[in-house]
Chain A
């Protein structure tokens, strides 16, 4: 295997163009499976639900919010680390960001799209989704801008727009590099996408500024998006949801599950796209440290949440707390604690952080735990409200479980298409970490090798 210091500028172009144009049968088989699962598990059950009505889902009184919304929060959360982390690391000039940020940002984009689909599924009558948009109409429809649901519409639209623009703008020089090396329809596509980029000093200067401004604008935006999602819950008066800590709780949880998602994606890219010499142990080590810090903050917030509920001494709060810790859903709660608070402590060991397979397993476990967290927030809180006559147990129906599986397949499909269109490792930024043809080692190489 080549070492990082042996890579030349031309190798980067070759490797990344190869990842775009050389496609083996394994890729097509994986894509076909992902597409089939998406159709069979997402679209069929959804059409079934549209045909028979929302009753096909297990949501009913008292739990009218179920796994669809849990999935929505989960996907929004997963979207959080990509662009946010990329922006923060760009502003702090972190060299290790450069090999991995493109695919992390793609993860953001696609999980946002899947999240938007989950809303469509949840609302039951998606053909009225435009009613959520503020436009002048004769129906006396009143877009209630005091409602967190309207904040959501604005925040997610902005985040989706911002993330798409951010990933596209950072890719323009790479589209130009790929444009020169491709033929046929690909060439035409990259000619359009690269906008006529040449790489002059003026263009680089403008790109640098615009990219930095976008990063500065997107950081507070990303924080606001998940705070707003948390207010969908925290602004209700349901016991265990009506808490001020919800905004930071959701933001930390989102970045946590997103970072775990990046680890999973990096593992897959490294292994199946042959990016071993670009995505190295250094990346896993750094992501591992980040995960450890996030897991500690997440654990702290969970402890605070339980303590606040207990200390309130309010009977409804106490009951919902008891129900969460020891009730019907308690196994899920303790599974979440195990996966998200206890298991990540392994990351203290550097040996663990730099081992690829254990990191993959842990990252998937964290995301299972984080999905459980979202399910517990949405499902269990409504099961135990103030009056015992409105208590009930919610169990997701087959349609809901199938749509969850289908949404994962949909994400995979989008990502598989992405790796063949976008250079999934940034060509020019990886070159920046290499010594220029007439220079010695870069600082990054001296620090890491």
Chain B
């Protein structure tokens, strides 16, 4: 059998998390929890997640800082305007530009990091149940073989799934 997905729909987060934990324990690796709210305790069940967003923020901010200072100092050097023998590159005012640009690029890089690491925006169909944006909690598990699918369905039902559906590869229900 080709790869297919078992999708169990739960009425509450506890049952969904319990089902996800059990599936994980049985060796199902490709698991998704689809929920209307961020769930607390996902990390204990599905393992700790790491994201690259902080690196984006950090390097974006550094780039912004350097760029900001270069912009202010560069402009001052290019358009020379000596005032009373004072230095052309003056730190206190230029640090403010540096500060603002640090934050601006930090913000933009965070957004970029978010979009890349959350894999958004999406242009193809993916498995989705509209009820999970209201009050249902879905557990989506990818199965490689028929036997796996049966086992996953069993676990989902045992954990109290209101409904278990098979989703063919390609995403359509």
Which residues of A come within 8 Å of B, CB atoms?
Answer: 8-10, 13, 134, 136, 140-147, 150-151, 154-155, 157-158, 161-162, 165, 169, 172-173, 176-177, 180, 195-210, 213-214, 217-218, 220-221, 224, 228, 428, 431-432, 436-439
Contact = CB atoms under 8 A, between A and B. Distances in A.
B122 A196 contact: yes
B104 interface: yes
B42 A205 contact: yes
B39 A204 contact: yes
A145 B94 contact: yes
B118 A202 contact: yes
Interface in B91-133: 93-94, 96-97, 99-101, 103-104, 106-108, 110-111, 113-115, 117-118, 120-123, 126-128, 130, 132-133
B13 interface: yes
Given A169-B111, A200-B34, A436 B104 contact: no
Given A203-B118, A224-B99, A438-B11, A145 B75 contact: yes
Given A177-B36, A196-B121, A205 B51 contact: yes
A213 B100 contact: no
A209 B101 contact: no
Q: What is the interface residue range for chain B against chain A? A: 35 or more
A13 B133 contact: yes
11 contacts: A142-B81, A145-B94, A165-B108, A165-B111, A195-B115, A198-B127, A213-B54, A213-B57, A214-B107, A224-B96, A224-B99
Contact of A10 (B117, B128, B134): B134
B11 A437 contact: yes
A208 B97 CA distance: 29
B144 to A, nearest CB: 20
B114 A206 contact: yes
Contacts of A165: 107-108, 111
Contact of A169 (B14, B36, B114, B134): B114
Contacts of B78: 136
A134 B135 contact: no
Contacts of B115: 195
B19 to A, nearest CB: 12
A437 B160 CA distance: 13
A195 B122 contact: yes
Nearest to B133: A177
Contacts of A147: 93
Given A165-B111, A437-B12, A200 B33 contact: yes
A157 B104 CA distance: 9
B29 interface: no
B57 A151 contact: no
Max count, chain A CB within 10 A of own CB: residue among B72, B81, B135: B135
B35 A161 contact: no
Contact of B133 (A176, A196, A224, A436): A176
Given A145-B76, A217-B106, A217-B107, A202 B49 contact: yes
A146 B126 CA distance: 52
Contact of A201 (B14, B39, B51): B39
B32 interface: yes
B46 interface: yes
A198 B128 contact: yes
Contacts of A176: 133
B63 interface: no
